[in-house]
Amino acid sequence: MRALYNPPTLTALMRNRTVRLAVTGLSQSGKTAFITSLVHNLLGAVGRPGRLPFLRATAERRILAARLLASARDVLPQFPLKSTIAALAADPPQWPSSTTDLRRARLLLRFSPRGLLGRGNPIGRALGSVAELTIEILDYPGEWLLDLPLLRQSYADWSHTTIGLARHGVRHPLARDWLDYLARHPADGAADSETARRAHDLYQTFLSACRAQEQLSLLQPGRFLNPGHMPDASVLWFCPLAFPVGGRPRSGSLAALMEARFETYKRTVVEPFFALLARDVDRQIVLIDILRTLNAGEAAFADQRLTIDAILAAFRFGRRSLLRRLFGARIDRVLFAATKADHVPAVQRDHLEALIANLVEAPTLRARQAHAQVAATALASIRCTQDGTDVIDNRKVDVVIGLPEGGERRIRFFPGIVPVLPPPSGFWGERFTAFPVFQPPRISDAAGDGIPHINLDKVLDFLLEDALA
């Protein structure tokens, strides 16, 4: 609190900074767990720096204090760190439930800079030698990200793409009821609110089935699956319709009604969310649950890849500079993380890292061309397993051991062989959907011991190293 009343030191004037971190990830990719672990471990970094050995600032013991910031003026609710940690520490523990609305976490780190401004240097001591870094992180339902690509699409384009997808592959059997209904109610028929509502409901059921049964990702609009707080739910009552290519909806038709609602949805729901998400963002971490889709089959895997490419196309990358800050912020560091790395044994984590790096080749190239720094890693925000071995088909294999949710006895889990490249057609065998959910390890709800993780410190070092230097 002293800093509030004392004039800022020269070090503070030169080095105080706010980093806005965009945590990007589809539903169930582990965003809330990531934010919880990040904040809790940083809060404990002063007393127990050993939890984050790869974060240089903690390894060098330059982080002097950490605390959560709560602002009454913030329009967004605060991230519920205490209750999330309490749920994880409870016996039996509970994973945080899916995020249903926007929340923000703000963390203040007081640290001693390196070099001339640091405590080890007489100049640094004369100038104050302490700076502050504020980290702002936004938590939101992952489904909402799926709406970002809509901003660049017209209703006709979106309808054409979505219906094309629904008529092929694993989506087709699930879309039958909805497509049949559309066949009975053509796009150029008279606008009828009840018909639109019914078509919307069938489409929503189709999207839910795609997610539950096929673990698909490209399910738009995201608010159909997780609406959050919507003052007027009627804005959601639309769905794609079969259009002739290049056609325009006739005035007064069902298609015109759907198009109007689609545009209203984009304007009143998607654009404000994107503005909040992407405004002044400096850093981005993209969390991808690659293991789940790898075991869910070829369609789920391809769909996830398509979704990530589409979402990332909405973000702007580039080197940080004063001019760019004046004319629109850019993301200058992007990290792609394959989550749930604790579900594979250590020997396969390198595979996981290589696979994620290969999967995001296109956005990586785009970010690098814009001179942003890009990296890929395997990550477990909360490590729930330990490594072990098992014998399968007379072969000794490395496995992970953990306590499954709802179980009493620990299990050995062999996750299959993680390929290092996006798998070709011959790779895909029988689907494995019984992916275990492990209980978190024993966690103390005091900030002292932190939360066990894999590579969270490397992630933080990549994202914050220059801000804490």
Q: Which residues make up the interface to another protein (CB under 8 A)?
A: 48-51, 53-54, 56, 59, 61, 91, 93, 120, 295, 342, 346-347, 349-351, 383-387, 390, 392-393, 395, 397, 401-403, 408-421, 423-424, 426-430, 432, 434-436, 439-442, 444, 449-450, 452, 454
> What radius of gyration, in Å, describes the C-alpha atoms of the chain?
24
Tokens of 358: 């290969």
The residue to which tokens 């929340």 are assigned: 103
Measured from the CB atom, is 216 or 418 closer to another protein?
418
Q: How far is the CB of 355 from another protein (least distance, A)?
A: 10
Residues 309, 27, 35: CA angle, nearest 5 degrees:
100
Calpha distance 36→26 (Å, rounded):
17
Comparing CB distances to another protein, the nearer of 166 and 418 is: 418
Nearest approach, Cβ of residue 253 and another protein (Å): 49
Closest CB 229 distance from another protein, rounded Å: 35
Q: Is 293 left (phi over 0), alpha (psi -120 to 50) or beta?
A: alpha
Which strand (E) or helix (H) includes residue 182? helix 171-184
Strand partners, 375: 335
The minimum distance between CB 453 and another protein, in angstroms, equals 9
Give the list of residues 6+ apart from residue 96 with CB closer than 8 angstroms, or none: 32, 33, 36, 84, 87, 88
Evaluated on CA atoms 54, 58, 61, 62, the torsion sign reads: positive
Pick the closer one to another protein by CB: 212 or 421. Answer: 421
**Cβ closest to another protein, residue 204 vs residue 439:** 439
Burial 338-347 (b: 16+ CB within 10 A, else e): bbbbbbbbee
Which residue, 69 or 411, has its beta carbon nearer to another protein? Answer: 411
Structure tokens at 388: 């072990």
Enter the tokens of residue 8: 């800022």
> What type of residue sits at position 289?
D
188 vs 466, which CB is nearer to another protein?
466
Q: Which residues is 309 bridged to in the sheet?
A: none
In the complex, least distance from residue 55 CB atom to another protein, rounded to whole angstroms? 11
Indicate the helix (H) or strand (E) that contains 64. Answer: strand 63-68
Alpha carbon separation from 344 to 49, 354, 440 (Å, rounded)? 26, 14, 16
Q: Which is nearer to another protein, 48 or 211 (CB)?
A: 48
Q: How far is the CB of 405 from another protein (least distance, A)?
A: 11
In the complex, the smallest distance separating the C-beta of residue 274 from another protein, rounded to whole angstroms, is 37
Smaller CB distance to another protein: residue 7 or 424? 424
CB 99 within 8 A of CB 141: yes
Minimum CB–partner distance for residue 91 and another protein (Å)? 8
Task: Select 52 or 105, whichever has its Cβ closest to another protein.
Answer: 52
**Cβ 376 to another protein shortest distance, Å:** 15
The residue type at 264: T
Tokens of 110: 């007081």
In the complex, minimum distance from the CB of residue 291 to another protein, in angstroms, rounded to a whole number: 9
CA–CA separation, 72 and 159 (whole Å): 42
**Cβ proximity to another protein, 151 vs 417, nearer residue:** 417
Residue 366 Cα distances to 301, 325, 421, angstroms: 22, 20, 20
Q: Which is nearer to another protein, 17 or 351 (CB)?
A: 351
Least separation in angstroms between residue 31's CB and another protein is 22
Is 383 in a helix, a strand, or coil?
coil
